């Protein structure tokens, strides 16, 4: 069996009964279950509909996300999450660059790297080199004034942990940011790159080895082995090309507001919902959320 999930941005309330019922009837689905009134609903179908992506495209233009996945094993034991533009709204290195006066230049490199147009390691080294001489205290300033959490992140982490799950934050960004975000949202561990500073100033160098695409896959392998669970027990979420490895290996890989090249390779795409979408995909009702 397969489970079809319809959801939207919590503020939009676009999932209406006629929409759910018409789709359920067209696909021969079972009874609809409302996970959150006007926000998220699901029903089961015996086979994946041949016109799924056509319907998906139509619903996207109306602000509705549509996902189909195997019903068995969809509630996961571990969350593996990217940080920049996933658990937070910003790209940390872009915000640091803005403080250094090279914001536009760095943001352009970031955009191309996250869409898979540039080598991640080389792009990171180039961007970090442009931060040379920046006062180390700027990191705290950026955290306090420029960084905001992605909606639904706290509920996602805390709800999965309340059900016995494990949460790991793995980022191509920097430990100075992941440690703060991980603590605020309740992650069990975090991994990221290290910005090197000397005499209170950033040197323009990053510690090696660089945590990129393969390191995120390595984190998936190491943490699941340590916990004694399968990669199929993991739900992973990210938005950039360096996330594709872990998204492809995890039991459920979610492209969240992702770059075009990333969406093209992922069957689970959330473009309108927030991070609570990952709970709806696992069958949680809003009344079960820890907030």
Per-residue pLDDT of the chain (291 residues; tens, 9 = 90+): 999 999 999 999 999 999 999 999 999 999 999 999 999 999 999 999 999 999 999 999 999 999 999 999 999 999 999 999 999 999 999 999 999 899 999 999 999 989 899 999 999 999 999 999 999 999 999 999 999 999 999 999 999 999 999 999 999 999 999 999 999 999 999 999 999 999 999 999 999 999 888 999 999 999 999 999 999 999 999 999 999 999 999 999 999 999 999 999 999 999 999 999 999 999 999 999 999
Residue 106 lies in a domain: no
Residues 66 and 197 in one domain: no
Count of domains observed in the chain: 2
Query: Quick check: 175 and 197 in contact, CB under 8 A?
Result: no
Residue 196 lies in a domain: yes
pLDDT of residue 211: 87
Residues 162 and 36 in one domain: no
Last residue of a domain, one of 37, 72, 107: 72
Where in the sequence numbering do the catalytic residues fall? 82, 84
Residue 225 lies in a domain: yes
Residues 46 and 82 in one domain: no
User: What pLDDT digit, counting tens, does each position of 254-288 carry?
Assistant: 999 999 999 999 999 999 999 999 999 999 999 99
Residues 80 and 216 in one domain: yes
Of 291, 255, 253, 280, residue with least CA distance to 15:
280
Domain span at residue 232 reads 76-89+148-291
Distance of CA 65 to the CA centre of its chain: 15
The domain that holds 244 is classified in CATH as: 3.40.50.1000
pLDDT of residue 231: 98
Residues 167 and 274 in one domain: yes
pLDDT of residue 212: 87
Residue 112 lies in a domain: no
Residues 80 and 161 in one domain: yes
pLDDT of residue 254: 98
User: What 8-state DSSP symbol labels residue 88?
Assistant: B
Residue 105 lies in a domain: no
The domain that holds 3 is classified in CATH as: 3.30.70
Residues 171 and 53 in one domain: no
Of 229, 243, 271, residue with least CA distance to 9:
271
180 half-sphere exposure, CB direction, 13 A CA radius: 16
Residue 56 lies in a domain: yes
Q: What is the pTM of this model?
A: 0.95
Query: Quick check: 204 and 224 in contact, CB under 8 A?
Result: no
Last residue of a domain, one of 72, 105, 123: 72
Residues 85 and 48 in one domain: no
Residues 85 and 3 in one domain: no
b/e sequence 108-140, b meaning 16+ C-beta within 10 Å: ebbeebbebebebbebbeebbebbeebeeebbe
What is the spatial distance between Cα 233 and Cα 236, in angstroms, rounded to a whole number?
A: 10
Residue 120 lies in a domain: no
Last residue of a domain, one of 72, 101, 129: 72
Residue carrying structure tokens 């503020």: 11
Residues 85 and 20 in one domain: no
Residues 82 and 198 in one domain: yes
Residue 33 lies in a domain: yes
Residues 222 and 80 in one domain: yes
User: What pLDDT digit, counting tens, does each position of 108-157 carry?
Assistant: 999 998 989 999 999 999 999 999 999 999 999 999 999 999 999 999 99
What is the spatial distance between Cα 192 and Cα 150, in angstroms, rounded to a whole number?
A: 19
């Amino acid at each position: 069996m397969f489970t079809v999930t319809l959801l939207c941005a919590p503020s939009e309330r676009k999932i209406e009964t006629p929409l759910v019922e018409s789709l359920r009837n067209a696909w021969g689905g079972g009874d609809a279950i409302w996970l959150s009134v006007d926000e998220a609903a699901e029903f089961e179908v015996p086979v994946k509909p041949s016109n799924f992506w056509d319907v998906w495209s139509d619903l996207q233009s109306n602000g509705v996300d549509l996902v189909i996945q195997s019903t068995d094993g969809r509630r996961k034991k571990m969350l593996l999450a990217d940080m920049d533009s996933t658990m937070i709204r910003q790209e940390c290195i872009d915000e640091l660059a803005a403080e250094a006066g090279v914001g536009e230049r760095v943001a352009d490199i970031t955009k191309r790297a996250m869409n898979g147009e540039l080598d991640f390691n080389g792009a990171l080294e180039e961007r970090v080199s442009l931060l040379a001489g920046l006062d180390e205290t700027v990191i705290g300033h950026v955290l306090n004034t420029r960084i905001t959490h992605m909606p639904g992140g706290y509920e996602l982490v805390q709800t999965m942990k309340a059900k016995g799950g494990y949460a790991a934050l793995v980022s191509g960004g920097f430990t100075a940011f992941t440690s703060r975000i991980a603590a605020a949202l309740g992650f069990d561990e975090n991994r990221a790159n290290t910005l090197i500073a000397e005499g209170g100033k950033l040197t323009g160098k990053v510690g090696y080895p660089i945590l990129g695409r393969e390191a995120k896959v390595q984190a998936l392998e190491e943490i699941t082995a340590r916990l004694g669970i399968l990669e199929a027990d993991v739900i992973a979420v990210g938005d950039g090309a360096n996330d594709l490895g872990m998204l492809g290996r995890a039991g459920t890989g979610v492209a969240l507001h992702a770059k075009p090249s990333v969406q093209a390779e992922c069957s689970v795409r959330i473009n309108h919902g927030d991070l609570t979408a990952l709970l709806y995909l696992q069958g949680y009702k809003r009344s079960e959320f820890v907030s």
